[in-house]
Amino acid sequence: MPSNKSVSDAPIVQFTNCRILRSHQLQREDLWVREGKILNPEKLFFDEKGSADIQLDCKDSIIAPGFIDVQINGGFGVDFSLATDDFKSGIDLVSQKILSHGVTSFCPTLVTSPPSVYHQVLPQISIRNGGAHGAGILAGAHLEGPFISKEKKGAHPEHCLRTFEEGAFQDLLATYGSLDRVRIVTLAPEMKRSSEVIRELTKQGICVSLGHSVANLSQAEEAVQDGATFITHLFNAMLPFHHRDPGIVGLLTSDKIPAGRRVFYGMISDGIHTNPAALRIAHRAHPKGLVLVTDAIAGMGLAPGRHTLGQQVVEIDGLNTYIAGNCGTCSVSPCFPGTKTLSGSVATMDTCVRHFQEATGCSVETALEAASLHPAQLLGIEHKKGTLNYDSDADFLMLNDSLYVQATYIAGEEVWRQKVLGM
């Protein structure tokens, strides 16, 4: 047998009997992995004269890139917007738990909070690769607010909202404390001085997202021309589509987008936040920009009841999550019944992928890429994440034909597998 030792002593693993998502198609071929990377078998055979050390039968599974969640506020009882002494253990718990739902990378998201929370939490977010310990935090945090519209604040606490004052970017820096561990900032582009903030954030390599906003289309287009590239949870917390001025939604078909630029948009495909018809409209208007996000809160994975979202208390009833209300007549604050203001989701990413595919009737490939390739492109990491191209990171999933996750791999190592009943 030819030796593999000429290039590396690391074992070569060959995944057989599978359908691989590559170049936008499911292709029936084997997947080769060494040292956490996807190998080109032709180079292995002809240049290295190598062969597999280990063969794994995938039993006709789909192999797709690992999911990337760019908007997740917490889960399993952990709220990323709460400054606690054991914040690190909380984020470790979430990163471990989401492996079973196919998420191999994520951006921990903080909702509108007092400056003290950002100053305490952000230094505790470590940008790191994924592994057996959990999904990777590869690009940094997503800061959703506090520079957003009062009229479209949604579940964000009004007393923490801020506007840009003189020296707008310095004001933002003072609020957050540092941008070292920040990858996405959601803001309302209609706010005064937002243009200079967008330009400076973009210059520093931070993705600017438009959301929680009453911006009209021209204001949104100007923000994109200044460097914004993302829309936070399309349709939610923004002006509804109107035929004379479609607002931020109009960016999906705008002819004012700079050449070579793509606008991406997040969609919460949980069956609650967005009607299936709205999902279909967005997808058909701009399929290559759609990014599935969970917008998950601390209550994801927990029983119905009261949980937190930053400074707020929320009520969970099935897949519905609402800001808890206060009747003003009892000593419990807040008390039930609550408001009808939606406050994030409790749906997992694999659930969102399945719902999206069912609601839109799109191909399996399209549904999987909306949770992998597109968020990787948004973050500018598609050369190593979100694809199964040769030399990319071997972060991938095994799924059945119904898109249920059977196993999760990071850097070519199995980090989670569905238990088989009776085993």
Q: Residue 237, annotated ligand binder?
A: yes
342 known ligand binder: yes
pTM, two decimal places:
0.93
Domains of the chain, by residue range, sit at 13-65+387-417, 67-298+342-379
> Which sequence positions are flagged as catalytic?
295
Instruction: Give the fold, CATH level 3, of 67-298+342-379.
Output: TIM Barrel (3.20.20)
In this prediction, residue 336 carries a pLDDT of 41
**Quick check: do 13-65+387-417 and 67-298+342-379 share a fold?**
no
- What would the pLDDT profile of 339-368 be if each residue is shown by its tens digit? 567 667 889 999 999 999 999 999 999 999
Residue 266 CA to residue 99 CA, distance in Å, equals: 21
Of 147-161, 306-320, 381-395, the range with the lowest mean pLDDT is 306-320
131: closest CA among 418, 417, 416, 419?
416
| Residue 328 pLDDT | 40
Q: Over the stretch 171-196, which tens digit does the pLDDT of each residue have?
A: 999 999 999 999 999 999 999 999 99
Check the annotation: does 344 bind a ligand: yes
Cα atoms found within 13 Å of the Cα of residue 309, Cβ hemisphere only: 30
Residue where the block lists tokens 């989401």: 98
pLDDT at 420: 73
**Is there a binding annotation on residue 19?**
no
What average pLDDT does the chain have?
A: 92
Q: Give every strand in the sheet of 230-231, ordered side by side.
A: 67-72, 103-111, 141-144, 182-187, 207-210, 230-231, 264-268, 290-293
Greater pLDDT, 205 or 315: 205
Please name the residues in contact with 273: beta carbons below 8 A apart, sequence gap of 6 or more: 233, 235, 236, 295, 342, 345
Report whether 116 belongs to an annotated binding site: no
Contact 67, 398 (CB under 8 A): no
The fold of 13-65+387-417 is: Urease, subunit C; domain 1 (2.30.40)
Strand 78-79 relative to strand 74-75, pairing: antiparallel
Whether 144 has a binding-site annotation, put simply, is: yes
273 annotated as ligand-binding: yes
Q: Has 343 been labeled as part of a binding site?
A: yes
Long-range contacts of 405-408, Cβ-Cβ distance < 8 Å, separation of 24 or more: 405/100, 405/101, 405/102, 405/350, 406/61, 407/61, 408/66, 408/99, 408/100, 408/102, 408/104
